[in-house]
Structure formats: C-alpha cells, structure tokens
Amino acid sequence: MSLINHKIMKKSFTLLEMLVVLGIIAVLVGFGAVNYSTAQRKARDAKRRGDLKAAQQIMEQCYSVNTSSYQYPIITNSSGTLTSAACPGNASLTFTLVDPLDTGTYKYSINPNPTTISAYKITADLETSTTDFFVENQQ
C-alpha cells in the first residue's frame, strides 16, 4: 500500500511549485496590462490626428469650392465636439469631430484678420505627448 500512495504523491504538484507558477502568471499579466493601456492611448492619439487631417481637408475643399467668397465653413463647438456647417458650394462637405474618450479635447479658433496669421486652427490634446497636435489653414 505504501507503494501506491507514493505513486499518487509523485503525480501531484507541491504548493511551492503552484505559487511559483502563479507568480510568473501575475508578472506576465501585469506587463500585458501596461502595454495594452499604452497601445490604447497611442491608438486614440492616432485617431485624433487622423480626424484633424480629415477636417483640414474638408475645410480646404470647401474654401476652394466656394469661389464666390473664398470662405471656410462655420464651425460650432459644443463641449469639445466640433461640427461644421454645410459648405455653400457643396453641402456634402461637412464634418463632426468627437473625441475618442468624449472628453472634449478638440478646440477651434479663428483669426479675424487672416492676412498675416492663419485663418483657423483646430487643436487636439494628445494623451501621449505634452504638446498639442493642430492643423491650420493652407490658403
């Protein structure tokens, strides 16, 4: 009988082995969580940059289509969500910018005298950088 008990004990793990395996798993999960969080922040920043570039392209298209007055569309800011009015030359040229976290990081400003400085500037606060990303008029 002692021979049978010895074989059964041989097949099982000791408490120390189980604790070592759990410790290794905990460390790997910790590293994975940190890397996942960083990847999410970078992805949100990439979306913000892409949104601003798309908005800039629409603004410039509207400016070039609206040959009678060469004006940019009117932008409204409601809690950080930017919405453009329909372009007089082409009503389909509109955009709405909503932050991926919905925290209202988009800002829009215009210059009343655009002869010396840019006419508009759209800014987004980035999570992975201390400097803001912005686009401005190209005309």
Looking at residue 7, what is its pLDDT? 57
User: Does residue 3 or residue 27 have the better pLDDT?
Assistant: 27
Q: Where are the domains of the chain?
A: 11-136
For the entire predicted model, the pTM comes to 0.74
Looking at residue 8, what is its pLDDT? 55
What is the Cα gyration radius of the chain? 28
Confidence of residue 29 (pLDDT cuts 50, 70, 90): very high
Cα–Cα distance measured from residue 51 to residue 57, given in angstroms and rounded to the nearest whole number: 10
Average pLDDT for the chain: 84
Cα–Cα distance measured from residue 127 to residue 133, given in angstroms and rounded to the nearest whole number: 11
Other C-beta atoms within 10 Å of 48: how many? Answer: 23
Dump pLDDT digits (tens) for 71-94. Answer: 788 888 888 788 988 887 788 888
Looking at residue 3, what is its pLDDT? 57
Contacts of 70 (CB under 8 A, 6+ apart): 63, 139
Dump pLDDT digits (tens) for 114-126. Answer: 565 568 889 998 9
Cα–Cα distance measured from residue 36 to residue 88, given in angstroms and rounded to the nearest whole number: 44
Q: Of the given ranges (3-17, 67-81, 90-104), which has the lowest mean pLDDT?
A: 3-17
Asked if residues 102 and 118 have their Cβ atoms less than 8 Å apart, the reply is: no
